[in-house]
Amino acid sequence: MQMKSVEFAELSYARPTDSVLKRWFIHTIENASGRNRLAALYRYWRDEVFGKDDRAFNAMLSLIDVDFVPEGNWPPKNLPATPLVMIANHPYGIGDGIAFLALAEQLGRPFRVVINNDLMKVPEIQPYSLPISFEETKEAVALNLQTRKEAVRLLKEGVTIIIFPSGGVATAPKGIGRAVDLPWKMFTARLVQSAKASVIPVYFSGQNGRLFHIASQFSMTLRTSLLVREFSKRCGKPISAVIGETMEWSSLETIADRKALLAHLYDAVFALAPKKRRKFSS
């Protein structure tokens, strides 16, 4: 099968290493979900906004008609003179990713987001990103170690690091009902301890549609291809986030066990949820 070239291939979840059939399938679903319209908005944002507006990600939310008004402890007052990490749950994929970047912009200080290495293909995201890999290879382990070292260095220089500790989009376990975050990765606890960082917890309300969660039970390829659909549906709708009190390092350093620290951070995020949260899973 011969694949036609795709405009703005960086806006697709299809990877060059995927089989031709898999790439064709993902492109087909994404195009049917409104990818071309989103690509047109991306072109405008890239050409007219990026590099010209110091709040480019807030401008992106405006461009896609998403009303994002943070609630709770925002903007934070009297931030401690320590490295700063922001953490959040991950209900949507793309929409909350942009909102999290927009939130970090509002602090008025340099920031980086820890993201899946596969998403580094978007050129405008690269200067703001630190890549990690979830593959079980020596190369992935080496990349993640390098990224953690770089993140610690940046934190100590005053750069805010933002992380979705689950590393993936929340999923309803049986395809229906309330979505829950994927198990949080130990990377976050290691980073906080290594940099002696204070933490701002953020909770995003909502979840993806039923089709996404049902598809997640049967096919990772279909699940991935539907992320653009979910983002397209999110355009024009509000995104709600609650920001909690800053957790200062002086209180976090008393939790020496990394798993216990990760559970503590998880609880801090989900304590901001309007509904009862599930128990921590490692």
For residue 9, the model assigns a pLDDT of 65
Backbone φ, ψ for residue 237 (5° rounding): -120, 155
Let me know: does 122 contact 11? Beta carbons within 8 Å: yes
Residue 159's nearest CA partner among 121, 195, 116, 190 is 195
Q: Say if CB 178 and CB 91 are below 8 A apart.
A: no
Contact 70, 243 (CB under 8 A): yes
Q: Mind listing the pLDDT tens digit for each residue in 252-265?
A: 999 999 999 999 99
**CA 3 – CA 112 distance, rounded (Å):** 34
Residue among 61, 156, 162 at smallest CA distance from 104: 162
Beginning with the edge strand found earlier in the chain, give each strand of the sheet holding 84-88 in spatial order.
71-72, 241-243, 198-204, 84-88, 160-163, 111-116, 129-132
Report in angstroms the alpha-carbon separations of 197 from 41, 134, 189. Answer: 36, 24, 10
pLDDT of 158 higher than 50: yes
What is the rounded distance in angstroms from the CA atom of residue 263 to the CA atom of residue 256? 12
Q: Domain 9-270 class?
A: alpha beta
Lowest mean pLDDT among 12-16, 149-153, 189-193, 207-211: 12-16
Look at 97-101, 146-150, 222-226 and tell me which has the smallest mean pLDDT: 222-226
Rounded distance between C-alpha atoms, residue 180 and residue 37, angstroms? 30
What letter represents residue 123's amino acid? Answer: P
Cβ proximity of 30 and 201 under 8 Å: no
pLDDT tens, 192-226?
999 999 999 999 999 999 999 998 898 888 888 89
**pLDDT bucket at 242, cuts 50 / 70 / 90:** very high
Q: Which of 159, 155, 164, 147 is nearest to 197 (CA)?
A: 155
Q: Which residue has the higher pLDDT, 69 or 238?
A: 238
How far apart CA 117 and CA 133 sit, in angstroms, is 6
DSSP structure string for 64-93? TT--B--EES-S-SS--SS-EEEEE--SSS
* Domain positions in the chain: 9-270
Tokens of 135: 């593959």
The string over 136-160, giving b where at least 16 C-beta atoms fall within 10 Å of a residue's C-beta and e elsewhere, is eeeeeeebbeebbeebbebbeeebb
Query: How far is 133 from 137, CA to CA, in rounded Å?
Result: 9
Task: Write out pLDDT tens, residues 171-188.
Answer: 998 888 899 999 999 999
For residue range 17-30, list pLDDT tens digits in order: 788 888 888 888 88
pTM of the prediction? 0.90
3-class DSSP state of 49: helix
Q: Which of 275, 241, 254, 252 is nearest to 75 (CA)?
A: 241
What is the model's pLDDT at position 219?
Answer: 85
Tokens encoding 50 = 């990026």
- Residue pair 106/75 in contact by the 8 Å Cβ criterion: yes
- pLDDT of 5 over the 70 cut: no
